[in-house]
Amino acid sequence: MGLNSNSIDIIMKYLLGTLIGFALSTTTAFAQEAASIDTGDTAWMLIATALVMLMTPAGLALFYGGLTQNKHVLNTIGMSYMAFCTGTIVWVIAGYSLAFGTGNAWIGDFGHLFLANINVNDVSGSIPTLLFVVFQGTFAAIAVAIVSGSVIERVRFSTWGIFSILWVLAVYAPIAHWVWGEGFLSNSGEMDFAGGTVIHINAGVAGLVLSYLVGKRKAHSLEEVRKPSSIKFMVLGSALLWFGWFGFNGGSQLAADGIAANALLVTNIAATAGALIWLTIEWFIVKKPTLIGMASGAISGLVGITPASGFVDASGALAIGIISGLVGYWGVVHLKSMMNHDDTLDAFGIHGLVGIAGALLTGIFANPDVNGGAGLLYGNPNQLWVQGKAVIITILYSGIATAIVWKVSELITRGGRIREELELEGMDIGYHGEHHMVVEEEKIIN
């Protein structure tokens, strides 16, 4: 039996419908593939997140703990430890939503409170959204932990806990939104690859403000307060921070690619340059090359390269590392005495001041061949102006908001400073009832 025209039309329509359906399903599959996670990127970001996590309760805790007095070691370590805990919890509850929620140019919304509306299969770029949440949470935690370095040895633990919660919400989250959450600073073209303004300037300025509000230590002028408890721990802490910084800067690309590799390279170059320049200055001026100076120089180089790590090449990193070491040394040795404040562990001198330098240097050395952004040396002088505006805005907001948060924290805990006799006795025994030299104590008792 032959096919009539109606039969042919039905067959053609069926074939055409099948082809269209196949095309649509293929397009959908491609779209789903484009939005799916990249296992290589995800694996790298899992590692990077773990590296940044290590920086606070281990790296910074040992770095700060080694620099403080024997009688305040555990308290100092505990402040970093608590900051990581409170910072992480408050980040999950509301911090992430305020920083990365779809609000406006100034602040996010409350759409992700307790990580609401984030499914386990949701993707950000090429990694799971939940992984992005955890990675950014480690940044918030270390930022507030850095602040503690300015006021250790004289602050109530309870007040510090309240402050760390409120500071992440009221100070850190808004600035993170401005720079990384599609806020007005990112829209203006500011370059901050891994946290020069969001973390280092922000935390450093906050520490400076607190050092004035809390006041100087009672024994500030005595030589004993300048004796670190353990240079070994301090150097070990700096090395752990250095190690974690590869995740800090390299992970900020959110992918395992050439820019992430470049970030690791320039991070290492700047750290080594900062360490050597600080060592050289001390060797020349005071005739003694100290390990404290070399470790401090390495941290200065790491701070300085943080905003630039995704935008500069090796030569730019070398220049930034050298300048950061110089700025850090001047801030700790000279500016601190000029400003007449008691920044116990130089959070402002190393993080705040060097963070400012790093943000501005990014506007000078950014190489368009690395990541598209051009600085002053590559024909874009306006970038330096953009960086400068972001620095000024961050300083003003962080300073004012931090002062308000501290006053509120004092009201809640009815005072933020410990008693004078407790400060002189030592926070470890007098406040926590613990001591890090347990073996020696047992020998004395027996």
Each residue's pLDDT tens digit, 107-157:
999 999 999 999 999 999 999 999 999 999 999 999 999 999 999 999 999
User: What are the structure tokens assigned to 430, written together?
Assistant: 């007098």
The 10s digit of each residue's pLDDT in 251-297 is: 999 999 999 999 999 999 999 999 999 999 999 999 999 999 999 99
| CA-to-CA separations, 18 to 4, 22, 25, 32, in angstroms, rounded | 21, 6, 10, 21
Asked if 347 contacts 149 with a C-beta cutoff of 8 angstroms, the reply is: yes
Angle, CA of 298, 260 and 273, to the nearest 5°: 20
Least confident range of 1-5, 94-98, 218-222, 411-415: 1-5
The single residue listed with the structure tokens 């918030």 is 140
The DSSP 8-state label assigned to residue 190 in this structure reads -
How far is it between the farthest Cα atoms of the chain? Answer: 111
CA distance 79 to 156: 10
CATH homologous superfamily for 47-439?
Ammonium transporter AmtB like domains (1.10.3430.10)
- The helix or strand, by DSSP H or E, that contains position 145, with its residue range, turns out to be helix 129-147
Helix, coil or strand: residue 124: strand
User: What are the structure tokens assigned to 310, written together?
Assistant: 């995704």
User: 195: closest CA among 362, 53, 76?
Assistant: 362
Exposure string over 7-33, b if 16+ CB within 10 A, otherwise e: eeeeeeeeeeeeeeeeeeeeeeeeeee
CA distance 288 to 405: 41
Q: Which residues contact 170 (CB under 8 A, 6 or more apart)?
A: 401, 404, 405
The 10s digit of each residue's pLDDT in 205-225 is: 999 999 999 999 887 655 555
Angle, CA of 338, 342 and 345, to the nearest 5°: 110
Q: How crowded is the C-beta side of 91, counted as CA atoms within 13 Å?
A: 24
CA distance 153 to 347: 14
Asked if 149 contacts 71 with a C-beta cutoff of 8 angstroms, the reply is: no
Q: What is the mean pLDDT of the chain?
A: 90
Exposure string over 191-214, b if 16+ CB within 10 A, otherwise e: bbbbbbbbbbbbbbbbbbbbbbeb
Q: Where are the domains of the chain?
A: 47-439
CA distance 410 to 245: 33
Angle, CA of 321, 324 and 330, to the nearest 5°: 145
Task: Work out the percent of the chain whose per-residue pLDDT is above 70.
Answer: 88
The 10s digit of each residue's pLDDT in 1-22 is: 454 555 555 555 544 554 444 4
- Quote the pLDDT of residue 427: 85
The 10s digit of each residue's pLDDT in 422-441 is: 888 888 888 888 876 644 44
In this predicted structure, the answer to whether residue 38 has a pLDDT above a threshold of 70 is yes
The 10s digit of each residue's pLDDT in 320-374 is: 999 999 999 999 999 998 998 999 999 999 999 999 999 999 999 999 999 999 9
Say which amino acid occupies 64: Y
CA distance 191 to 186: 8
Exposure string over 128-142, b if 16+ CB within 10 A, otherwise e: bbbbbbbbbbbbbbb
